[in-house]
Amino acid sequence: MYEVNAPPPGVAAALPVDERFMTLALEQAARGLGRTAPNPPVGCVIVQGEDVVGRGFHPRAGEPHAEVFALRDAGERARGATAYVTLEPCSHHGRTPPCADALIAAGVRRVVVAALDPNPLVAGRGVQRLRDAGIEVTVGVLESEAVRQQAGFRSLIVRGRPWVVAKYAMTLDGKVAAPREGNGVVSGLKARALAMRWRDELDAIAVGSGTLELDNPALTTRGVPGGRDARPVVFDRRALSNPQARVWREGAVLISGLRADTARHEVAGITVLRPEALPDSLTELGELDIGTLLLEGGPTLMSAFFAQGLVDEVRVFLSPKLLGAGLSPLTGRARPMHEAQALRDVTVETLGPDVLITGLLHDIPRV
């Protein structure tokens, strides 16, 4: 982290970059997680010297961008200030005018950007527009954190499909469930609370028909203040699931096989997709503005996604206990151990009795 140097008396500050302000901007951005798709979550903080004079975040598609809220918050104090933005300010007229122009008009002196916008309509043009107006621009401060926060947006705009996060809780002998048991609790309270926060932060949750039959889960977000529910996505090729199951609420999506009879589901108002194959289902979910998909299992669905290389990120809660017999999180084709797929950008964290290990199987698209 950089230190903020006080300017010598009578000399204008050199305005060094301070990562702490970008951290604040990332915290602002996080408030929009799960609400902004197909737009990115973005946060902005306006800084005068060592003081934060404005904050803003993009709350949802169709509403103004983070920079606009932060500039409004700062008012006249934006003049000569530094703006910290988690994503390159836009340079094009979308549903709102370009944020680069708003920053220029407000008279900010410097803009610090975490990461460039992979949107081909922006992709460096926002930064160029600011520089052309004489504004000093720094790019790449806490870039990895920002890119990870924007994974859904980046996946959607570059690959046309959601960023798929496989989540499971496993015992120390590699079991996610006892045989033929639904709903068995694996993790402790802290881990389960975090998993609930993910339901609030990701756009949609996917389960297979097996989980639906065994658990009849509501897939709602519980115990998160101000939380909202993710869209349930049920992979049920034969469309045999009960249209009265708890999961079927507004926004729920049934991924059915091409020839299944989905009349009962359609009558109940459920959105039905009929992709040719699993990868197509992701493209169709992307078309529904689902940027992040939380794969909550079970093993059948998880294994199908993994086998086809469709899992982008893995989040595993490890619980320090031994079960003996039970279900493995993944099954599939046999291959030697040296062909196991390694995770990148691995993080390890303890949560009460449990250990959370996360990592990526694919790179998050950048510019």
* Chain positions contacting a copy of itself, by CB under 8 A: 170-181, 184-186, 303, 306-307, 314, 316, 318-326, 328-338, 340-343, 346, 348, 350, 353, 355, 357, 359, 361
Nearest in space to 258 (alpha carbons), one of 221, 284, 232: 284
CB of 278 to a copy of itself, least distance (A): 16
80/210 with CB nearer a copy of itself: 210
**Tokens encoding 316:** 């595993």
> What is the distance between the alpha carbons of residues 314 and 48, in angstroms, rounded to a whole number?
40
Quick check: is 136 catalytic? no
Beta bridge partners of 176: none
CB of 306 to a copy of itself, least distance (A): 6
In this structure, the number of other CB atoms found within 10 A of the CB of residue 344 comes to 10
CB of 84 to a copy of itself, least distance (A): 31
Q: Is there a contact between 181 and 327 (Cβ–Cβ < 8 Å)?
A: no
134/179 with CB nearer a copy of itself: 179
Q: Is there a contact between 253 and 288 (Cβ–Cβ < 8 Å)?
A: yes
CB of 283 to a copy of itself, least distance (A): 24
139/343 with CB nearer a copy of itself: 343
Nearest in space to 347 (alpha carbons), one of 173, 197, 144: 144
267/337 with CB nearer a copy of itself: 337
Of 19, 27, 67, 287, the active-site residue reads: 67
CB of 143 to a copy of itself, least distance (A): 22
Location of structure tokens 């990148």: 344
207/314 with CB nearer a copy of itself: 314
Q: Is there a contact between 359 and 314 (Cβ–Cβ < 8 Å)?
A: yes
Burial readout 134-166 (b: 16 or more C-beta within 10 A, e: otherwise):
ebebbeebbbebbbbbbbbbbbbbeeebbbbbb
Please list the active-site residues.
67
